[in-house]
Amino acid sequence: MANNKTPETPQMSTMAMVAPLAGWLVPGLGHVLQKRPVRGGLIFLSVLIMFVCGLGMQGKVYGLNAGDLLDMLGFVGDFGNGLFYFLARAFEWGGANIFRATSDYGTKFLVCGGLLNVIAAIDAHQIAIGKKQ
């Protein structure tokens, strides 16, 4: 006999909307709100360390720019840092120092930290809707 079960659709709850937004704004907060403080703390430390290392290497913090494709992609990656990005833009932290070889690595650290935070926010959403434990 054929199995007539329809696939279950995930339930959209308030936590399913709040967790990824909170997790994006403050790295790891989406997991902490769902009572996973160890995972949330590890995410916070990972993103913070990548962000601080990127700034320490004088990496570039991208602004909104519609001119160059790579600058737009860099902005998307940096914007993923959430609150850290807004602090960096407000206090004018970071800058592409072309005379230091490490500034390019610092830029990559900043972008990768933001992308890691976006993945963590998606993970928080998946936990909130019940697709992941």
- The pLDDT, as a whole number, for residue 67 is 80
Q: Is the pLDDT of residue 34 over 80?
A: yes
d(C-alpha 29, C-alpha 45), whole Å:
12
Task: Give the Cβ contact number of residue 36 at 10 Å.
Answer: 18
pLDDT tens profile 43-83: 999 999 999 999 999 999 999 887 888 889 999 999 999 99
- The pLDDT, as a whole number, for residue 102 is 87
Indicate whether 32 belongs to any domain: yes
Burial class (CB in 10 A: 0-12, 13-18, 19+), 15: middle
pLDDT tens profile 85-132: 999 999 999 877 778 888 999 999 999 999 999 999 999 999 999 998
Query: How many domains does the chain fold into?
Result: 1
Indicate whether 7 belongs to any domain: no
Indicate whether 43 belongs to any domain: yes
- Structural domain including 112 reads 15-128
This prediction has a pTM of 0.87
Indicate whether 2 belongs to any domain: no
Residue matched to tokens 């993923």: 80
d(C-alpha 1, C-alpha 79), whole Å:
51
Indicate whether 90 belongs to any domain: yes
